[in-house]
Amino acid sequence: MDTDVVRIFDTTLRDGEQSPGATLTSNEKIEIAKSLARLGVDVIEAGFPAASPDDLNAVKRIAIEVGSEGIGEKPPPIICGLARANKKDIDKTWEAVQHAKRPRIHTFIATSPIHMQYKLKMDPEEVVDKVREMVAYAKSFCDDVEFSPEDAGRSDPEFLYLVLEEAIKAGATTLNIPDTVGYTSPDEFGELISGIIENTPGIENVIVSVHCHNDLGLATANTLAGIQAGARQAEVAVNGIGERAGNTSLEEVVMAIRTREQFYGLQTN
């Protein structure tokens, strides 16, 4: 694994489409996916296949048309679909992404006290069991499995280390740390990533990823702090579009790493 390359994971077609008032047709999604492949992004999160039959079909078309051949000289990007931590979502995601040369299933469950109590109505032990079970289920279809502890920015770090260790044991290859509600500051987020890298058994065998939101205008700053702390995948969207105040901007992150190469000592594809 190349430690001086930051992988660019583009979620314009999934999280980006959750922008207020945004809707994309299947043809528009294909057009965007082809443009992202030409740009050289490493991973395209093409959608949330369980959300609707249309979304499943769009992800499937992207897997076939963009994920099997590649565009021009570049190899085909990884085509990823998002799934909640349940069998139905994972089944639908695999149905859509399996047509790509390099498919990925991305599954997630919340780990913050407020989300576990009020959204999931699950206790922490139940969440750990679900992570174990559903990451292993995704792995039974697909070698490349990404796991996200939703609302990691407000989660107890010690609990995160435990959850992430179980995800690694179950077969996750990328661990994505989302600041789901755009709550953290760069110092805090950088420390969270450092803590995860220092305290999670098996972390040296996986890629640590960061996914930040711009509610307090800090998405790019938090993402760069996470990268400095050792994350090697950045989850971004074109022009920073996304729900509420948006996601981390693809072009800001890529150009910060490119323009300040001497400072970061890193590159992207």
* Model confidence at 170: pLDDT above 80: yes
pTM score above 0.85: yes
Write out the H or E segment, with its range, that includes residue 209: strand 207-212
* Confidence band, pLDDT 50/70/90 cuts, at residue 69: confident
Cα–Cα dist 94/210, whole Å: 23
- Note whether 61 and 50 are within 8 A (CB): no
Specify the pLDDT at position 207. 98
Average pLDDT rounded to a whole number, residues 74-82: 95
* Model confidence at 251: pLDDT above 90: yes
* Confidence band, pLDDT 50/70/90 cuts, at residue 98: very high
Helix, strand, coil in percent for the chain, rounding step 5 = 50, 20, 35
- Tokens standing for residue 123: 């206790």
Specify the pLDDT at position 23. 87
Average pLDDT rounded to a whole number, residues 40-45: 98
* Model confidence at 94: pLDDT above 90: yes
* Model confidence at 90: pLDDT above 90: yes
* Model confidence at 1: pLDDT above 70: no
